[in-house]
Amino acid sequence: MFSKRIKVKELLQLTPNEQEVTVMGWVRTFRNNQFIALNDGSTNNNIQIVVALGLLDDATLKRITTGAAIKVIGNVIPSVGKGQSLEIKANSIEILGDSDAEKYPLQPKKHSLEFLREIAHLRFRTNTFGAVFRIRHALTFAIHQFFNDKGFLNIHTPIITASDAEGAGETFRVTTLPIDGTAPRNADGSINFNEDFFGKSTNLTVSGQLEGELAATAFGNIYTFGPTFRAENSNTTRHLAEFWMIEPEMAFYDIEDNMDLAEEFIQYIISYVMEHNKEDLTFLDARLAEEEKQKPQNERQEFGLIEKLKFVVENKFERITYTQAIDILLNSPAYKKKKFKYDVKWGIDMQSEHERYLVEKHFKKPVIVSNYPAAIKAFYMRLNDGEEAGKETVAAMDILAPGIGEIVGGSQREERYDVLLKRMQQFNIPLQEMNWYLDSRRFGTVPHAGFGLGFERMVQFVTGMTNIRDVIPFARTPKNCEF
C-alpha cells in the first residue's frame, strides 16, 4: 500500500486533471486550517494540500502540525494560488506520525547553520540541507559514472591498515588491548602489539593509494571511493577527522596525463550536477547571494555560485610550477605590503593564505601547481631528473580551487626501485613492513600516477557551503562525535 505513493517531484510534473494520487511526507506549514505545505524530500518544492471545510474533525486538524508525517489521498487540480501550478484537493488525510509543535526544534523560520549543526539529526528536513544532500548524492553518482564510462575498476581498499601512506602521524589507532594500563608490555616497557587483535599495531586508513597502486599495476586504471580518517587537530572549515576520498590510480600515466584526467573529471562531475540538479543549485545560488550580502563589499565573492561553476566547466585550469607560484607570490602586492602571515621562499609548504592568493586574487580560477620541492612531499612521489642539490623537486600536482584551497593532491609515482628505496630510507619508512609495496617495483614496474580528491571539499565547492561540517551528514571533528 505504501508503494503506491507518488513522489512530490514527479507529482509536480503532472498535468492536473483530477487524477487521484497518494502522497506522503512531512508537514512544513499548515495555514488557516486549510492549506498544508507538504514536503517528502524528493525536491525542495512543497505540494500544497487543500483541506476542505468539514473534511476532518477538530481533533485531527490539530494534529496537522509542522514536522508531522501524513498520508494524503486526493485529486490533482490546477492551483489558483500563486507559487504553484497545481495542488491536491484532499479526500482523506491520515496522520502517520505526530509532531509536538511546542517541542519540535525546526520551526518554520530561518535557523542559523550553527544551530542546525546541533540538530543535525533533523536538518535533512530543511531546504538548505535537502539541496546539499541531493547534490552530494548526484556527485557520488557522477563520479562512478565518469570512471565506469572510462573503464576504471572500483577497488575497495582496506579501512584498517598497518601502514600509514604519508609516513606521518595523525592516525586513529585500532586496538582491542585494554586502555587501563594493563596492556601487555615488552621488556623495554613498550606495548606488545603481538598480543593485539591483528598481532601488530594498526590504525584507520588515511588513504587507499598504496593499495590502489597495486591494483593499478594489474588492471591499468582503478579508483577508490571510501572513507579516510585523520586525527589532525585542525579546527578549520576545510578539515574533517572522517572524510571521503576518491583516489584514481593509472598505470602508463605520467604527470601530464594525470593533470588532464583530474581536470576532465572535475569538469565532468560539475557539469553533471549543473544538468541534473538545476533546482537545488538555483536555491543554493540564492542562499549564497543572501549570505554574501551580509559581508562587507570588499570581502564578497565576485561570482555567484552557478556563474562560478559555469566558469570552471568552460575554462581550462591554469597550470604553473611550484617555482612559478613562489615567484608570483614574491612579486605580489600582498607580499610587498607584508600582508602574508607566513613567510614566502622557495622550499616552503605553501599555506592556505598563499594558495588562496594564487587562485582568488591572481588567477581567479582553479590552478594546478606542479613540481613541488621533494623535501615537503611524500616518499612515493617521482623524483624529477637532473636537478641541482637542495633544489630537487617531485612530479606532484595539487589543484587549488577558489574558496576551498587544495581540492586535489596527486603525483606521478616513483616507479624506479632504487630511487624509491632511497627515498623510503630518507623518510624512515619501515622497509620490512612495506615489502609488499616494493614488490610492485620489483615485478613489472610501470610509470603510473594518481590523485586524491577530497569529496567533501568538492561538495563544498559545488554547493557554495562555507563550512565542511555542512556538507557531510554527521561531521566528525576534534571534540565532536555526535549522532
Q: Which residues bind ligand ATP (CB under 6 A)?
A: 230, 232, 238-240, 243, 245, 405-409, 452, 454, 456-457
**Residue 385 beta carbon to ligand ATP: minimum distance, rounded to whole angstroms:** 24
- The DSSP 8-state label assigned to residue 93 in this structure reads E
**Residue 414 beta carbon to ligand ATP: minimum distance, rounded to whole angstroms:** 16
Comparing CB distances to ligand ATP, the nearer of 6 and 468 is 468
What are the backbone angles phi and psi of residue 378, rounded to the nearest 5°?
Answer: -70, 160
Q: What angle do CA 470, 476, 478 make, to 5 degrees?
A: 115
Burial group, residue 1, by CB count within 10 angstroms (0-12, 13-18, 19+): exposed
Strands (E), 343-446: 367-373, 393-401, 405-412
**Residue 454 beta carbon to ligand ATP: minimum distance, rounded to whole angstroms:** 2
Euclidean distance between CA atoms 249 and 267, whole angstroms: 18
* Helices 127-149 and 278-293, axial angle in degrees (round to 10): 130
**Residue 398 beta carbon to ligand ATP: minimum distance, rounded to whole angstroms:** 7
Handedness of CA 178, 184, 190, 196 (dihedral sign): negative
Comparing CB distances to ligand ATP, the nearer of 72 and 246 is 246
What is the helix (H) or strand (E) element at residue 24, kind and residue range? strand 20-31
Determine the residue type at 234.
S
Comparing CB distances to ligand ATP, the nearer of 56 and 308 is 308
* Pairing of β 160-161 and β 202-204: antiparallel
Euclidean distance between CA atoms 321 and 372, whole angstroms: 8
* Pairing of β 69-78 and β 20-31: antiparallel
Comparing CB distances to ligand ATP, the nearer of 403 and 409 is 409
**Residue 409 beta carbon to ligand ATP: minimum distance, rounded to whole angstroms:** 2
Euclidean distance between CA atoms 196 and 119, whole angstroms: 38
Comparing CB distances to ligand ATP, the nearer of 281 and 459 is 459
**Residue 349 beta carbon to ligand ATP: minimum distance, rounded to whole angstroms:** 8
Comparing CB distances to ligand ATP, the nearer of 354 and 448 is 354
**Residue 290 beta carbon to ligand ATP: minimum distance, rounded to whole angstroms:** 26
Comparing CB distances to ligand ATP, the nearer of 201 and 467 is 467
* Pairing of β 86-97 and β 47-50: parallel
Q: Which of 324, 317, 330, 414 is nearest to 368 (CA)?
A: 317
Comparing CB distances to ligand ATP, the nearer of 423 and 469 is 469
- The dihedral region occupied by 39, where left means phi > 0, alpha psi between -120 and 50, and beta the remainder, is beta
**Residue 252 beta carbon to ligand ATP: minimum distance, rounded to whole angstroms:** 23
**Residue 332 beta carbon to ligand ATP: minimum distance, rounded to whole angstroms:** 21
Euclidean distance between CA atoms 274 and 269, whole angstroms: 9
**Residue 245 beta carbon to ligand ATP: minimum distance, rounded to whole angstroms:** 5
Comparing CB distances to ligand ATP, the nearer of 44 and 161 is 161
Euclidean distance between CA atoms 267 and 314, whole angstroms: 8
Comparing CB distances to ligand ATP, the nearer of 38 and 143 is 143
**Residue 113 beta carbon to ligand ATP: minimum distance, rounded to whole angstroms:** 18
Burial profile 87-121: b = 16 or more Cβ within 10 angstroms, e = fewer: bbbbeebebeeebebeeeebeeeebebeebbeebe
Comparing CB distances to ligand ATP, the nearer of 90 and 240 is 240
